[in-house]
């Protein structure tokens, strides 16, 4: 607010608009002007009005510019800054800065900084005066703390996974760290924040976890799909185990693995990475699989596969359709022979009676 005096008498008051402008009509004369901001006197000057003109009125106010970054000078947007006793809250922009404009210089301010609603810094700002004159711009740099993140990676059997790749990505983007486990452990120095932690082995993602890093953290990640033992049991139409069948498993992102079934019809694959798995069964060194199916593997297990097209007889695989045909023919022959035997016996009995 600007208050105008003429001969010590108040003649008019006016309040500046959002652009800091005051427009009013005054008679020709000499005026004393005083500026007030939040009921505090922030400036005064004399005006000699002789014609229509404009004047600049400099107020004894200051502007507070805040920059938030880490020790590597990465700047952070969306940092919440609360200023008291102003009771103002602002957020940093994409450059990591924001400005609290037009502050009274003779006040001690307290600035609180937080990310993800977690406070990480409190800064006290003293009276912004030099020789009782306001500092036009006062710059404050806030450094986000660097914290230690220890990631312990284990497999489905709770055994450490060595040489697994661990990627740590700040949820809001920008910050990125990577490393490899040594005896199941990877260490990182990360800036205060929230991170997505991804674990890879053989180029395949085996875990993804989000963690808050608001203090030094020692986190454990169990990769339930890694280190599995998967067995494929191959049986015929009647459920008999089929030995020496070639079983191939293909997990997306990995080369195929093959093994042959033992006498119990089981082919075992250890140190397997679970997920969506394509299973192909080859019999008698076929070039095309007799079974090609997909299964979701989420734990160590035995997957049973029935090949209804074949029957195992005396160690030889016979197509069920051929066996059925042979059985029908054999049954027909037996029936015909039985009828012929019966007919002949009956004929003999009739001759004997005669």
Q: Does 134 share its domain with 162? A: no
Select from 76, 109, 70, 74 the least CA-distant residue to 92: 76
Which of 231-245, 275-289, 331-345 bottoms out in mean pLDDT, i.e. has the lowest?
331-345
Number of residues that make up the chain? 354
Domain containing residue 188: CATH number: 2.60.40.1120
> Binning pLDDT at 50, 70 and 90, where does residue 149 land?
very high
Q: Does 71 share its domain with 135? A: yes
Kindly list the distances between the CA atom of residue 57 and the CA atoms of 114, 132, 177, 250, in Å, as whole numbers in the listed order.
Answer: 37, 18, 52, 78
Q: Evaluate whether residue 54 is within a structural domain.
A: no
Q: Please state the domain count of the chain.
A: 4
Q: Evaluate whether residue 344 is within a structural domain.
A: no
Please report the pLDDT score of residue 321 as a whole number. Answer: 61
**Bond preceding residue 254 cis, omega within 30 of 0:** no
Q: Evaluate whether residue 339 is within a structural domain.
A: no
Q: Which domain holds residue 267?
A: 228-313
- Of 49 and 273, which is predicted with more confidence? 273
Last residue of a domain, one of 143, 164, 182: 143
Q: Evaluate whether residue 324 is within a structural domain.
A: no
Last residue of a domain, one of 176, 199, 222: 222
Q: How many CB atoms lie within 10 A of CB 228?
A: 21
Q: Evaluate whether residue 307 is within a structural domain.
A: yes
- Percent of the chain clearing pLDDT 90 (strictly above): 58
Q: Does 120 share its domain with 73? A: yes
Q: Does 213 share its domain with 232? A: no
Q: Does 134 share its domain with 103? A: yes
Q: Evaluate whether residue 179 is within a structural domain.
A: yes
Q: Evaluate whether residue 346 is within a structural domain.
A: no
pLDDT (tens digit per residue) in 165-185? 999 999 987 899 999 999 999
Select from 164, 165, 159 the least CA-distant residue to 177: 165
Q: Does 119 share its domain with 69? A: yes
pLDDT (tens digit per residue) in 82-111? 999 999 999 999 999 999 999 998 889 999
Q: Does 232 share its domain with 307? A: yes
Q: Evaluate whether residue 300 is within a structural domain.
A: yes
Last residue of a domain, one of 283, 298, 313: 313
Q: Does 139 share its domain with 152? A: no
Select from 166, 152, 240 the least CA-distant residue to 196: 166
Please report the pLDDT score of residue 27 as a whole number. Answer: 83
C-alpha span between 17 and 30 (Å, rounded):
24
- Does the pTM exceed 0.75? yes
């Amino acid at each position: 607010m600007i208050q105008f005096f003429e001969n010590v008498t108040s003649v008019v008051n006016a309040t500046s608009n959002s652009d800091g402008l005051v427009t009013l009509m005054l008679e020709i004369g000499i005026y004393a002007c005083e500026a007030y901001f939040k009921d505090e006197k922030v400036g005064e000057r004399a005006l000699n009005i002789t014609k229509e003109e404009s004047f600049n009125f400099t107020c004894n106010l200051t502007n507070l510019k805040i920059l938030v970054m880490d020790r590597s000078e990465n700047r952070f947007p969306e940092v919440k800054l609360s200023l008291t006793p102003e009771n103002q809250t602002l957020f940093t922009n994409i450059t990591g800065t924001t400005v609290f404009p037009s502050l009274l210089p003779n006040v001690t301010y307290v600035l609180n900084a937080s990310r993800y609603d977690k406070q990480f810094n409190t800064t006290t700002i003293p009276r912004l005066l030099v020789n009782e004159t306001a500092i036009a711009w006062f710059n404050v740099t806030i450094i986000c703390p660097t914290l230690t993140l220890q990631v312990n990676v284990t497999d489905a059997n709770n055994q450490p996974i060595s040489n697994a790749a661990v990627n740590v990505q700040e949820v809001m983007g920008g910050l990125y760290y990577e490393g490899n486990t040594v005896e199941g452990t990877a260490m990182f120095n990360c800036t205060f924040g929230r991170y997505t932690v991804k674990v890879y082995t053989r180029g395949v993602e085996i875990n993804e976890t989000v963690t808050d890093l608001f203090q030094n953290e020692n986190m454990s990640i169990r990769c339930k799909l890694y280190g599995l033992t998967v067995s494929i049991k191959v049986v015929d139409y009647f459920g008999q185990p089929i030995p020496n069948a070639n079983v191939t498993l293909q997990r997306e992102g990995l080369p195929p693995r093959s093994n042959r079934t033992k006498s119990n019809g089981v082919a075992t694959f250890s140190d397997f990475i679970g997920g969506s798995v394509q299973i192909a069964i080859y019999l008698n060194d076929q070039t095309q699989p007799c079974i090609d199916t997909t299964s979701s593997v989420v734990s160590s297990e035995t997957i049973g596969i029935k090949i209804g097209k074949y029957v195992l007889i005396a160690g030889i695989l016979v197509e069920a359709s051929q066996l059925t045909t042979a059985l029908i023919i054999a049954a027909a022959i037996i029936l015909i022979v039985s009828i012929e035997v019966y007919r002949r016996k009956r004929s003999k009995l009739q001759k004997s009676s005669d």
